[in-house]
Amino acid sequence: MRILLFSIMALMTAACVQNPVYRQSDEPLPVAYIDQQRYLGLWHEQARLPNSFERGCQRATAEYGVRDDGLISVLNTCIEASGERRSAEGRARPTGEAGEGKLEVSFFGPFWADYWVLQRADDYSWSIVGEPEGRYLWLLTRAETITPEQRSAFEARITALGYRPADLVWAAP
């Protein structure tokens, strides 16, 4: 029941209160091509733009799998400051060209939101995810933590995409 309420609250909040536009470029965002099977699995959030549905979240993860209906299962989990675990279950579906990293995610009913894989490592060890409006951005890695050198490299990538790394909420080392 808690998962359902969290999902409903997140969706209602996102629908009623739009995140500000953080992206400072009018250039179209790139979209990486992905092998869906290689993209599945557990990802650790290293950074994100502030958003209402992750307020108070630490050590967030996203886990993707295959559902019986052919869609992608989504399980987002984080730890609240109180130490309590918070989760939201959703689903994703590919959009765009075959293999293109354009997906839509839904955590409640018929409401879908863009989820674009903007860049990714050749070995699928990291991924930068956003959406076309520049309101949301996530840096995901397979590793639980990143080094200061990796963070600097990601900051350069994020800057090249038109975002300011200082706007992001970074995971604690």
Give the pLDDT confidence of 96-121 residue by residue, as tens digits. Answer: 899 999 999 999 889 999 999 999 99
Its pTM stands at 0.88
First to last CA, the chain: 32
167 contact partners, CB below 8 Å, separation of at least 6: 22, 49, 50
pLDDT of residue 18: 74
Question: In this predicted model, which residue has the larger pLDDT, 4 or 41?
Answer: 41
The average confidence (pLDDT) of the chain is 91
Q: Which of 76, 62, 71, 69 is nearest to 36 (CA)?
A: 71
Q: By three-state DSSP, how is residue 53 classified?
A: helix
Query: Pick from 75, 57, 55: which is nearest to 67 by CA?
Result: 75
For the segment 134-157, the average pLDDT, to the nearest whole number, is: 97
pLDDT reading at 59 higher than 70: yes
* Predicted local confidence at residue 17, as pLDDT: 57
pLDDT mean over 3-10: 44
Quick one: average pLDDT of 145-153? 97
Q: Which of 166, 143, 163, 167 shows the shortest CA–CA distance to 27?
A: 163
Third-level CATH fold of 2-170: Lipocalin (2.40.128)
CA dist 65 and 173 (Å) reads: 27
Domain segments of the chain as ranges: 2-170
CA angle 125, 57, 72 (to 5 degrees): 50
Query: For 12, left (φ over 0), alpha (ψ -120 to 50), or beta?
Result: alpha
Percentage with pLDDT > 90 across the chain: 84
SS3 81: coil
What residues have CB less than 8 Å from 142, skipping those under 6 apart? 41, 42, 43, 44, 124, 125, 126
